[in-house]
Chains A and B, each alone.
Chain A
């Protein structure tokens, strides 16, 4: 966990849990990362990672619910958590290609399936090489 991780998100976005809205999320993420002056490489990686994370949680979403996205910003890091209401979430397969993609793109990636929600949280801390944990 980043040292100064706040409990309250700096930016929150709620979208219909529909893949059609993921591009909005991608754009928002890239915009925030750019404002934190991340290197272009990291901004673009994060843009892709958020798309992947959304693709991971969306199939688990209960119908007619929202995709909630929380952004936590510090000077050197951006954490994005995408989550959906999922009464019966499937445990994520950490050996899957999708996880491989996430953990390569982000500095950290973790999934959580508690309280009836399925969430995937990714952090990007530029400066560190993009090697896995």
Chain B
């Protein structure tokens, strides 16, 4: 969305003509005042304050777009206001851009960041969540029958949906990965003890002399992640085989591998 001129009033009945000409004029006056170093500090602070109030409907407008995502509207307005404050402080009227045009991405960015920090980068619709679960179970089923990992088309045929939907479902699976960044468990576990998956003195690692440099990093990994990594990269097992061995879904193996490699990359860079 590129609002050259945001019409805040269209989404909320009682907002005064904010976003329309008088508002823009008032906004321009206030910015001039704010940027006028000849003015007293208190005058400028008052102008800033007025600007915040003047453009609050813009924040509400932005926040409204994120309704129904499980966060109270008031909270979204609050974080959006942080974006507004940042925009006011950084705005340069001389550039000739409308303030609303300039501020909208910052406000939305702030709200999105809030969602991200809350752990859900992307809200996966229920339909996709269900599809994701279907893909997981059907993948396991077909792997059994076929003796190999199924293709998207085979999954689509079995589930009775389109290949496009399978691809979408796989993507949502990956979006879901960000959820589990801080949580090691995402409910897909079979309840088997972590210790079951843990080799005491992991024999797989013994014959990996070349990898001496990564050993300290491996040791810092969660035991299960380490095991998955070793099985995939030193024992050449497929994701499906690993999934079976550890008792989680193949998608989950994929997510854990991606995450572990990312962690190791960061650790390696830090070590340099």
Contact = CB atoms under 8 A, between A and B. Distances in A.
Interface of A: 26-27, 30-31, 34-35, 37-45, 47-48, 51-52, 55, 95, 97-98, 100-101, 104, 130-132
B151 A40 contact: yes
Interface in B178-226: 210-211, 213-214
Nearest to B151: A37
Contacts of B51: none
B250 interface: yes
A46 to B, nearest CB: 11
A37 B233 contact: no
Dominant secondary structure at the A interface? helix
Contact of B258 (A39, A48, A130): A48
Given A97-B211, A97-B264, A43 B170 contact: yes
Contacts of A34: 152, 163, 166-167, 170
B270 to A, nearest CB: 13
10 tightest A-B CB contacts, nearest first: A41-B149, A44-B254, A39-B149, A37-B151, A34-B167, A97-B214, A34-B152, A40-B149, A41-B239, A104-B233
Contact of A104 (B155, B214, B236): B236
B236 A44 contact: no
Contacts of A45: 239
Interface in B80-132: none
Interface string B35-69: 00000000000000000000000000000000000
Contacts of A26: 174
Contacts of A48: 254, 257-258, 261
Given A45-B239, A47-B254, A130-B238, A100 B151 contact: no
B150 A95 contact: no
Contacts of A42: 149
A39 B236 contact: no
B153 interface: yes
A27 B233 contact: no
26 contacts: A27-B171, A27-B174, A30-B170, A30-B171, A35-B163, A38-B151, A39-B149, A39-B150, A40-B139, A40-B149, A40-B150, A40-B155, A41-B149, A41-B239, A44-B239, A44-B250, A44-B254, A47-B254, A97-B211, A97-B213, A97-B233, A97-B264, A98-B265, A101-B261, A104-B232, A104-B233
Interface in B142-173: 148-153, 155, 163, 166-167, 170-171
Contacts of B257: 48
Contacts of A98: 265
A26 B175 CA distance: 12
A55 B267 CA distance: 13
B18 interface: no
Nearest to B153: A37
Contacts of A31: 167, 171
Given A26-B174, A39-B151, 7 more contacts: A35-B163, A40-B150, A40-B152, A44-B251, A47-B258, A97-B233, A100-B233
Contacts of A101: 233, 261
A39 B139 CA distance: 10
A95 B44 CA distance: 62
A57 to B, nearest CB: 13
B240 interface: yes
B198 to A, nearest CB: 21
Interface in B243-267: 250-251, 254, 257-258, 261-262, 264-265
Nearest to B146: A39
A130 B231 CA distance: 13
Contacts of B211: 97, 100
Given A27-B171, A34-B166, A104-B233, A41 B261 contact: no
